[in-house]
Structure 1
């Protein structure tokens, strides 16, 4: 309507000009004048629309980092989370938990020292390590390179054999942390193995918080392995390991390679392993996961080699369970939406009372 009114006004002005005996503009100048005014109105209108769209989707987040002691095997995950978050938790908060402490507490660990080693696995592991080190000469990754160079071939081969037992070839070909199987922050030769049914765990945590603390929250479990998300397509993420979140696709080593080859065309986010709560757009959950991942510290180190260095040990056999508490552990982060104009963040009374 504004545009039509403006065109009518411009036409009237042009008519008054053409009837004036002292001024006779060329027809092309009249058309150019009208077109210029129409373009200005159109640009102004589009600018207002874009600004409104951006402000409607702006989100302001606050992160609370929760400190804890080490979660040893047998720890009651549900009671522990409720105890730790009780002082600060509120309705609609996001309780983001690192996957590793949950796996350790629930006993999803394995001692790689008992794995028998064969010459074929050792040979394949040696070839893969050489190929990856060559790859990293062009696409540097210092942390991974250090892990490959400083871990003995025997330990690498045993790890590869375990990976092949619990996952697929796409994960086996990855250089480290294959299928999410990780040795950091564990003593001796233990590794944590991602478990099936993590969705049930997050649902259980959410239900426990509702029953014990009377709050309705969203619960997310994340892993530090990076997912790939295309900048122009934020509706789906590609992970290098298995997950139970429906908007994440597991492509194993292909996802890992994409992060190097595609460079500026993709963004990297921590892997969302499982999620329970109100349904939000993926790009919002990714932002929350990234904020939480910065708050959740890696304990004794990001890799097993870093752990050895931080503990001043020379062998994994020297690392004991008692050493695990020699570092600060922050397994949980609470992310709170302070301000948002995104329609998906509006609190629903029905959702709030779901578990109450």
Structure 2
């Protein structure tokens, strides 16, 4: 089981142990995750890490203020995302009310964001009305955004090696994996084996007519079934959703940090407790 003095919650047949840190800064190592994981983990445990701290530690930040929106980016923001998806397709397909609300109040800066998506990932991903290509707007300073981690499977293997125990390390993104006719797919550019990735807008659209399976495992240190990976990823996501400091969207920033969406500093991000990872242990 677990020492009662160690912070944890029970989720069904699993114990969830949060790893709490400050803000992991650009190009900073991941020791604030690895060291407590090494101390707390036992053989057979899972370490589930959110994708953004990995990306930020890799320095995968893009300053969107450096991008000038093209006509295509402006159209995709104002007409396609805000109006067609915010008022017609979104309600018709039953997407989340929070997403619809956010689409209807897209800020001016979204045009530059769409240009970033167009240039780095192409139209297939830019057509997605929100959360394009897994780019995270909510946990980066200023006008920066973080891209998905580079080679998350290798990162998972490297972290496992540093922990030095027989554990499973998984990196996940909250963007959805869907299932239709027994096949798993995601709009994200990358996912573990068994989940068809890089479907962009087409995966998102098809996903609205399919079963939402929850968070997407991007990389894993072990060969693991998709079903097991999704189960563990969603236990981790359940814990994150319970936190008052969760910044799931850019609109959460003002509520959590008390600052404007574009006025976020590293100091402000470092002023709250972050939970970039959780340890998940099966109860015998």
Query: If the TM-score is normalised by the length of the shorter chain, which range does it land in?
Result: 0.7 to 0.9
Q: Is 1:142 aligned to 2:97, yes or no?
A: yes
Alignment-derived partner of residue 281 in structure 2: 336
RMSD (CA atoms): 2.1
- Contact map agreement 2:191 2:216 (CA 8 A) in 1: no
CA distance in 2, matches of 1:196, 1:106: 8
Aligned equivalent of 2:238, options 288, 291, 294: 294
Aligned equivalent of 1:96, options 48, 60, 64: 48
In the superposition, relative to structure 1, how do residues 246 and 189 fare at CA in structure 2: closer, same or farther (>3 Å)? same
Higher fraction of helix: 1
Aligned equivalent of 2:259, options 290, 310, 313: 313
Q: CA deviation at 1:273?
A: 0.6
Q: 1:51-87 CA deviation, whole Å, 9 max, x = no partner?
A: xxxxxxxx9332222211111112212x332212133
Q: CA deviation at 1:254?
A: 2.5
- Contact map agreement 1:242 1:273 (CA 8 A) in 2: no
- Contact map agreement 1:97 1:221 (CA 8 A) in 2: yes
Q: Secondary structure at the match of 2:39?
A: coil
Q: 1:109-166 CA deviation, whole Å, 9 max, x = no partner?
A: 111011123334213322212111121222242222233233323x111111111122
CA distance in 1, matches of 2:278, 2:112: 34
Alignment-derived partner of residue 240 in structure 1: 187
Alignment-derived partner of residue 84 in structure 1: 36
1:136-175 map, 5 Å: 136-138=90-92, 139-153=94-108, 155-175=109-129
- Contact map agreement 1:115 1:158 (CA 8 A) in 2: yes
1:202-221 map, 5 Å: 202-210=156-164, 215-221=165-171
Q: CA deviation at 1:315?
A: 4.9
CA distance in 1, matches of 2:261, 2:45: 42
Q: Is 1:111 aligned to 2:56, yes or no?
A: no
Q: Is 1:256 aligned to 2:204, yes or no?
A: yes
- Contact map agreement 2:179 2:207 (CA 8 A) in 1: no
Q: Secondary structure at the match of 1:268?
A: strand
Alignment-derived partner of residue 224 in structure 2: 280
CA distance in 2, matches of 1:293, 1:241: 17
Aligned equivalent of 1:223, options 166, 173, 185: 173
CA distance in 2, matches of 1:320, 1:82: 25
- Contact map agreement 2:69 2:114 (CA 8 A) in 1: no
CA distance in 1, matches of 2:134, 2:95: 21
Alignment-derived partner of residue 250 in structure 2: 304
Q: Secondary structure at the match of 2:277?
A: strand
Which protein shows a greater Rg? 1
Q: CA deviation at 1:104?
A: 0.9
CA distance in 1, matches of 2:193, 2:224: 12
Structure 2 unmatched runs, 5+ = 1-11
- Contact map agreement 1:198 1:273 (CA 8 A) in 2: yes
What TM-score results when the alignment is normalised by the length of structure 2? 0.86
CA distance in 2, matches of 1:70, 1:311: 13
What TM-score results when the alignment is normalised by the length of structure 1? 0.70
- Contact map agreement 1:229 1:269 (CA 8 A) in 2: no
- Contact map agreement 1:150 1:305 (CA 8 A) in 2: no
CA distance in 2, matches of 1:195, 1:334: 20
Q: CA deviation at 1:324?
A: 0.5
- Contact map agreement 2:61 2:147 (CA 8 A) in 1: yes
